[in-house]
Amino acid sequence: MQQVFQYFTQYQVNYKNEILSGLTVALALIPEAVAFSLIAGVPPLVGLYAAFVMGLVTSLLGGRPGMISGATGAVAVVLVALAKSHGVEYIFATVVLAGMIQVLAGVLRLGKFIRLVPHSVMFGFVNGLAIIIFLSQLVQFQTIDAAGASHWLTGTPLLTMLWLVGLTIIIIVGLPRLTKVVPASLAAILTVSALVIGLGIDTKTVGDIASIKGGFPPFHIPAVPFSLETLALIFPYAAIVASVGLIESLLTLNLIDEITETRGRTNKECVAQGVANITSGFFFGMGGCAMIGQSLINISSGARARISGVVAAIMLLVFIMFGASYIEQVPMAALTGLMIMVSVGTFEWASLRTFGKMPVSDVLVMVLVTGITVALHNLALAVLIGVIIAALVFAWENATRIRARKHLDEAGVKHYELFGPLFFCSVQTFNEKFDVQNDPVEVVIDFKESRVADMSAIEALNKLTERYHRAGKKVHLRHLSPDCRKLLTRAESLIDVNVLDDPLYTVSGANQIY
């Protein structure tokens, strides 16, 4: 029992904040889960059950206390085609398989590769997500006519929606200046709900979207044929769901790390997300991943431990089983105002100051990732494209940094002192540094300020030494770092040169890049 207590209290815990934050998140989860269910083409309860299971399991097992998981739009967009073509049972099977892939990623410790995401991509991801959260709230200012067409609200309904949303925002912004006893988000929801119910104001409520009434999610093995044909059908969807879920979860984890100035455990989070998705698939859930909006609501409300996530999941289930009639009366204006403030808080306003101060390539990557995120609503694809472009820019810039200082010693030996990495992008510039025909019979290539990085570099050395060999000249390599020596040793059949040992030389940590 003592170990369980320590597990939940590994961070300094304010129980009031944890419980109230969890309640706020539970209220905010409902319209999101319902909306994502409709996007995926499954019943609303499938999204709500996913939010409950994902939130509970990741709060208990995850690598980032305070982070909230549930049904998400990124996963819903992937599953919608499968739901239309084969039905909800195949969704459950896909989610289970996706969870297995995520667990495997965590066991193989692949979570560390999130470090490859540069800050410019992170800024673009966060800003794009903030814009998506804001734009997704505009639908609450629309109505659907009998023919199924959407129209913007006008007249009294529009004014009612505007002032209720405005009141919610005022409370969220102003209440913390007066008191922090109660989370401002929860106080805003309760206050606006009380006004709407007490005064009988006619406005859109949670119940107008869909009924959330249900029971405890039953255990259910997906009713699909256990065959290779089924596996071939669902595996591509499962692989995309797994990758999208991990990318969004680990980026959210990094963002929460920055806000709280603590360090989450990426591989543990991968395993937790996988276990949560597996469990979700067996309990009528559509799966999901970390939710940056709800996570920020939780953190901004003062939550730092696992308790808030557990409370949010349990309260969501309580609402589904016992409080549906009450929660369905909550006005959408209150939740819309809350999510608008989440979008404002999510946007990295500091990123706007990078224009004209940071490298143009970084600014362009940030803007590109933001644009792709908003245009395609595909966070994983936007991040992947951003990482690829940032990597290519980095490679190109480093390709131009290779230099060679040349001199002849007293013995008539010509020395080439290289500066900068030798890799696939810098090979052409490297070859241009040498004058094989006019060089003396003995040449030393000094790698003290350089390194052999990849196969292209080895092949470049091989071709260079062949040119010197055909010219009847000898090449020595000097000051190779241990990792470079290891590469050349493995390629011994390709390169036949003398490697000069220098017993006085020790490769510094700055020169070793693994």
Q: What are the C-alpha distances in Å from 138 to residues 32, 171, 215?
A: 14, 20, 31
What domains appear along the chain, each with residue ranges and CATH number?
Answer: 15-136+202-324 (no CATH), 354-394 (no CATH), 400-511 (3.30.750.24)
The number of helices, as runs of H, and strands, as runs of E, in the chain is 20, 9
Check if the beta carbon of residue 420 is closer than 8 Å to that of residue 448.
no
* 136 vs 205, residue with greater confidence: 205
Name residue 475's beta-bridge partners.
443
DSSP 217: P
β-pairing verdict for 414-422 and 442-452 = parallel
pLDDT at residue 147 greater than cutoff 80:
no
Q: Rounded to whole angstroms, how far apart are CA atoms 271 and 451? A: 37
What pLDDT, on a 0 to 100 scale, did the predictor assign at position 507? 34
- Beta-carbon neighbour count of residue 299 at 10 Å? 20
Q: Rounded to whole angstroms, how far apart are CA atoms 158 and 141? A: 7
Q: Rounded to whole angstroms, how far apart are CA atoms 456 and 125? A: 33
Q: Contacts by 30-34 with C-beta closer than 8 Å and gap 24+?
A: 30/206, 30/212, 30/316, 30/319, 30/327, 30/330, 31/206, 31/209, 31/332, 31/335, 32/70, 32/71, 32/291, 32/293, 32/294, 33/70, 33/71, 34/206, 34/209, 34/210, 34/212
- pLDDT tens-digit profile of 202-249? 998 888 878 889 999 999 999 999 999 999 999 999 998 998 899 889
Check if the beta carbon of residue 25 is closer than 8 Å to that of residue 59.
no
- pLDDT tens-digit profile of 340-372? 887 887 788 888 888 888 888 888 999 998 998
Q: Rounded to whole angstroms, how far apart are CA atoms 280 and 307? A: 20
Q: Rounded to whole angstroms, how far apart are CA atoms 339 and 136? A: 9
Q: Report the SS3 class of residue 403.
A: strand
Q: Rounded to whole angstroms, how far apart are CA atoms 476 and 85? A: 65
Burial 247-275 (b: 16+ CB within 10 A, else e): bbbbbbbbbbeeebeeebebbbbbbbbbb
Q: Report the SS3 class of residue 472.
A: coil
The chain-wide mean pLDDT, for the chain, equals 85
Where residue 146 falls among pLDDT bands split at 50, 70, 90? confident
Give this prediction's pTM: 0.73
Distance of CA 105 to the CA centre of its chain: 15
- pLDDT tens-digit profile of 387-404? 889 888 888 888 777 888
Mean pLDDT to the nearest integer, 53-78: 91
Share of the chain above pLDDT 90, in %: 39
